[in-house]
Amino acid sequence: MADVSRPLIRLFRSYGRPEWRWLALGLVTSALAYGTVLVTPIVLGTTIDAVFTDESAYALPLVPAAWLPTDPAGQFWLSVAIVGVALGGGAVLQWVRGVAMNYFAHGVMYAIRTDAYERMQRLDMAFFDEKETGEILSILNNDTSNLEVFFDNALGDCVRIGVVVVGVTGALAYTNWQLALVTLGAVPLLVGFTWWFMRVIEPRYAAHREIIGDLNTRIENGLSGVELVKTAGTESYENERVRGVSREVFDTQMDVLRLSYFYRPGMELLTGAALLATFVIGGLWVFSGPPLFFSGELTTGDFVVFMLLTQRLTGPMAQLSNIVDWYENAKASGNRICGLMDVPVDITEPAEPAALGDVDGRVAFDDVSFGYDDSGVGATPEESTGERRDPGDAQTVLDGVDFTAEPGDTVALVGATGAGKSTVAKLLLRLYDVDSGTISLDGHDVRDLRLSDLRGAIGYVSQDTFLFDGTVAENIRYGRFDASDEAVREAARAASAHEFIEDLADGYESRVGERGVKLSGGQRQRIALARVLLQDPEIVLLDEATASVDTATEYRIQQSLDRLTADRTTVAIAHRLSTIRDADTILVLEDGHIVERGDHEELLAADGFYATLWRAQAGDIDELPDSIAVEHANI
């Protein structure tokens, strides 16, 4: 138990403490509210004995006899008043309890969710390479909600059960301790039965939750891949896969429920048996004196108190199963949330960051080697979370890459698919850290710079343009939120995007849809470009910025790019060599090595890979030589 309950204690310590006032108010009012349910049976019992059957004097626990009326009518109306106040007070206390516990539980949930999200934002790219989006979503949504349910309902109900059991035990013992032993004999049985239930249901819950996770992932995959599913005509295959997992969800759910349905009637049977035993022994006692080995007197009023209080015990005890349920869920969720919070981060801010000041834009790669974590493709989430990357595990993607871009220079990277061009861009942005060598900006190792300084100095247009669901203007403004409308339009004009934006139904206020689905690839690309133009960075990183546009648009974008990159340091990745022929330096990458370097003319003169490719793209030769065509089929 100790190991699994730790996450809950830890989360409670970190996030529950600031809300302790709400919790204290909730628990105290809970205790008082459930305390009031004991008042009615006790007052009724004493009233019956004193006013109706005259079996004993009118006495109330904790109230001095001198304060009580002596005439039956006065006693009767006092009892009515007390029961009325107890009922009304109980309702008010319940209301306060509800408000306080909800403020507490939702406050905790809010703090955990926002903190978990902030921590997630700081995690390395390598983490996101491994983790399923569905799984992270599930942690931020379902798991935090499970904790809210636990902190609200389960804590409240624990207090309720505690108060009722202690109160009922006290009241019964006070009324007649011998008969109390009969009634309360059921409590250890109820607790033992619940303990057994928890033990047998736990593995079934675990199996069920695991399958639910699989189902979420499967559905999430099906949704994000809907275009592929439709175009590949694999709807029935996907349906079958979801049906298979859903069936397992059904089976494991029924495994849990079969046991749950057995538990609740079992609890009711035990409490019913206690009620019946109390009724038989108490009834005989009132009727014809103490039965068996019992001794002393039992009045009619005492008997009524026993019957009413025993019933009060039944409800809360049956809630034990819900508490078990909430606890099990919260425990698993707490584990997952703590797991996310504990993922180690490699890309961290330097302890004493170097002052970058005004950026000149000198970018240098000095003998850089790098490989992605080998656990990457095909690794299971268990293998891939929470473990620091060991460079020894990695397959080399870049090997001894060495180049310098002086301020204002353009360095272009060309090479076959998978040669490592985008990896150069990601390393410059410090999405990953190099395994050996250094990358520097204005002479500062990028690891010595504040991440915001480094990334703020670089404008990045990536291969897969991502747009947020929002308006065109919001997407252009993303990162420069204070930019004026005019500045946004100016940037769009410079990116050759203004015209098509004006043609959209709502112009700059048109919504682009999730991931920008309502726009074409070329339109998305130009919006991304406008965003970078608005950002006005000192260094520009273009990863095939003209990849998704037609030749006419490419020409116009190229003109905007020329304006953008004219006096900024630029690292451009391109497959179409025409876009980078004016670069100061062109690097040809092959399997992570730089195999050719120089400007366009020099590389043509060298008559190597670049020259051959250039002639092929310019249409000067009909086909690539076999050696290049086979090796670089996808260039």
Ligand X SMILES: Nc1ncnc2c1ncn2[C@@H]1O[C@H](COP(=O)(O)OP(=O)(O)OP(=O)(O)O)[C@@H](O)[C@H]1O
- Are the C-beta atoms of 175 and 302 separated by less than 8 Å? yes
Q: Cβ 464 to ligand X, closest distance in Å?
A: 10
Applying CB under 6 A, the residues found at the interface with ligand X are: 129, 372, 376, 397, 415, 417-423, 463
User: 224 or 396, CB closer to ligand X?
Assistant: 396
Q: Cβ 611 to ligand X, closest distance in Å?
A: 20
Q: Cβ 383 to ligand X, closest distance in Å?
A: 14
What letters, b where the CB count within 10 A reaches 16 and e where it falls short, cover 191-200? eebbeebbee
User: 79 or 585, CB closer to ligand X?
Assistant: 585
Q: Which residues pair with 395 in a beta bridge?
A: 372
**Cβ neighbour number for residue 444 with a 10 Å cutoff:** 20
Sign for the CA dihedral angle at 392, 396, 397, 402 comes to positive
Q: Cβ 587 to ligand X, closest distance in Å?
A: 12
Q: Cβ 423 to ligand X, closest distance in Å?
A: 3
Residues 109, 88: Cα–Cα separation, whole Å: 32
User: 83 or 427, CB closer to ligand X?
Assistant: 427
User: 319 or 384, CB closer to ligand X?
Assistant: 384
User: 151 or 372, CB closer to ligand X?
Assistant: 372
User: 56 or 463, CB closer to ligand X?
Assistant: 463
Residues 537, 541: Cα–Cα separation, whole Å: 10
Q: Which strand (E) or helix (H) includes residue 604? A: helix 600-606
User: 147 or 425, CB closer to ligand X?
Assistant: 425
Identify the three-state secondary structure at position 102: helix
Q: Cβ 430 to ligand X, closest distance in Å?
A: 15
Q: Cβ 35 to ligand X, closest distance in Å?
A: 60
What letters, b where the CB count within 10 A reaches 16 and e where it falls short, cover 301-314? bbbbbbbbbbebbb
**Cβ neighbour number for residue 319 with a 10 Å cutoff:** 17
Residues 487, 500: Cα–Cα separation, whole Å: 17
What letters, b where the CB count within 10 A reaches 16 and e where it falls short, cover 90-102? beebbebbbebbb
User: 78 or 542, CB closer to ligand X?
Assistant: 542
Q: Cβ 488 to ligand X, closest distance in Å?
A: 30
- Are the C-beta atoms of 105 and 152 separated by less than 8 Å? yes
